[in-house]
């Protein structure tokens, strides 16, 4: 029998990541860092989140990663409602499902590149040395395996951090401004690597200030402002050119001759 049940199709399309009316108010905060955000990310999508500083981008990524909890609303990743997990459950969820890449790499200085890559695997009781070396090769830096982070360039360190994020085959790769601390060329290389991972099937949620790199590599751009989603554009959609889809630009890269942020009301 080769007919697929409509229920299965609906399940497959119900989203790998689902945020429903998610609000986050930090202690001491008057307004929400996130204010009633609902989005769905499908398996295999490469989505960029853009918006001005303080608009809630990192907050959103941290909530999806299970690093923090929303004040209200629900977050479901891969069928798991994160609010149902205790602290140990959330730690297991992160270990088994999330790869996280940060702006400043956060490699441990007293471990070699390969040892850094292997940390998440060892937390699961796997040695994974072969896979670690394979990933370094795939990311174009096989020769750095036995070097310490201080001997590596920023671009090499970020690629080591990406290998570390991928070592446990995460359901979801999250990256918070992974090119923010890199020179233009290294930033382009890292973003192209993310594009390649996406073409290989990896689901990626990326925060970036770089409109050019985002539109060149991601297939969807979500614009956030004051904790709210103000635009959600799929770049393959023929009626919208990439240059038109970014409504909210970061302060670091204002469009030439434009005001800092458009009116949204
Ligand atoms: N731990 C925290 N405690 C209190 N307030 C916080 C905390 N983290 C973030 N905020 C506040 O929440 C809002 C959203 O912050 P967030 O870090 O998500 O912004 P962002 O879009 O990632 O900004 P940037 O582009 O500068 O990284 C900001 O007003 C920020 O000051
Ligand atoms: Mg941030």
The span from the CA of 263 to the CA of 171, in Å, is 36
Contact 157, 149 (CB under 8 A): yes
At residue 260, the pLDDT reads 39
Contacts 24+ apart (CB under 8 A), 58-62: 58/176, 58/207, 59/24, 59/33, 59/34, 59/227, 60/19, 60/22, 60/34, 60/207, 60/224, 61/174, 61/176, 61/205, 61/207
Give residue 198 CA to ligand 1 midpoint distance, Å. 27
Give residue 140 CA to ligand 1 midpoint distance, Å. 34
Mutational pocket test of ligand 1: of 29, 37, 50, the residue with most ligand atoms within 8 Å of the beta carbon: 29
At residue 259, the pLDDT reads 36
Give residue 110 CA to ligand 1 midpoint distance, Å. 30
Q: What is the pTM of this model?
A: 0.86
The span from the CA of 113 to the CA of 132, in Å, is 10
Query: What are the boundaries of each domain within the chain?
Result: 14-245
At residue 206, the pLDDT reads 97
Which residue CA neighbors atom 6 of ligand 1 most closely?
26
DSSP letter for 148, please: -
Give residue 81 CA to ligand 2 midpoint distance, Å. 24
Does ligand 1 come within 6 angstroms of the Cβ of 59?
yes
- From first to last of the 265 residues of the chain, give the pLDDT tens digit: 455 666 655 555 579 999 999 999 999 888 899 999 999 999 999 999 999 999 999 999 999 999 999 999 999 999 999 999 999 999 999 999 999 999 999 999 999 999 999 999 999 999 999 999 999 999 999 999 999 999 999 999 999 999 999 999 999 999 999 999 999 999 999 999 999 999 999 999 999 999 998 988 899 999 999 999 999 999 865 445 555 555 555 444 444 333 334 433 3
Give residue 131 CA to ligand 2 midpoint distance, Å. 31
Which of the following CATH numbers is that of domain 14-245: 1.25.10.10, 3.40.630.10, 3.40.50.300, 3.10.20.30?
A: 3.40.50.300
Phi first, then psi: what are they for 231, rounded to 5°?
-160, 150
Mutational pocket test of ligand 1: of 56, 100, 229, 249, the residue with most ligand atoms within 8 Å of the beta carbon: 56
Does ligand 1 come within 6 angstroms of the Cβ of 26?
yes
User: Token pair 């985002």 is at which residue?
Assistant: 214
Q: Which ligand is nearest to the CA of 224?
A: 1
As a whole number of Å, the CA-based R_g of the chain is: 19
């Amino acid at each position: 029998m080769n007919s697929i049940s409509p229920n299965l199709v609906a399940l497959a399309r119900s989203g790998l990541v689902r945020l429903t009316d998610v609000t986050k108010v930090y202690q001491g905060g008057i307004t929400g860092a996130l204010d009633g955000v609902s989005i769905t990310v499908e398996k295999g999508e490469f989505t960029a989140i853009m918006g001005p500083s303080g608009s809630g981008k990192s907050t959103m990524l941290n909530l999806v990663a299970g690093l923090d909890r929303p004040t209200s609303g629900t977050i479901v990743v891969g069928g798991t409602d994160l609010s149902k997990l205790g602290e140990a459950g959330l730690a297991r969820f992160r270990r088994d499902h999330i790869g996280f890449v940060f702006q400043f790499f956060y490699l441990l200085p007293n471990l070699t590149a390969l040892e850094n890559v292997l940390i998440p695997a060892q937390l699961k009781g796997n040695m994974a040395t072969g896979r670690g070396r394979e990933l370094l090769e795939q990311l174009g830096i096989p020769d750095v395996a036995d070097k310490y982070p201080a001997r590596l360039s920023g671009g090499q360190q970020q690629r080591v951090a990406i290998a570390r994020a991928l070592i446990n085959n995460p359901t979801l790769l999250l990256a918070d401004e992974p090119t923010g601390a890199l020179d233009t060329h290294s930033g382009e290389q890292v973003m192209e690597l993310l594009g390649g991972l996406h073409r290989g099937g990896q689901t990626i949620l990326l925060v970036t200030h770089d409109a050019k790199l985002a539109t060149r590599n991601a297939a969807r751009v979500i614009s956030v402002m004051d904790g709210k989603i103000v635009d959600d554009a799929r770049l393959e959609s023929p009626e919208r050119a990439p240059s038109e889809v970014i409504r909210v630009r970061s302060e670091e890269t204002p469009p030439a001759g434009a005001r800092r942020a458009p009116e949204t009301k």
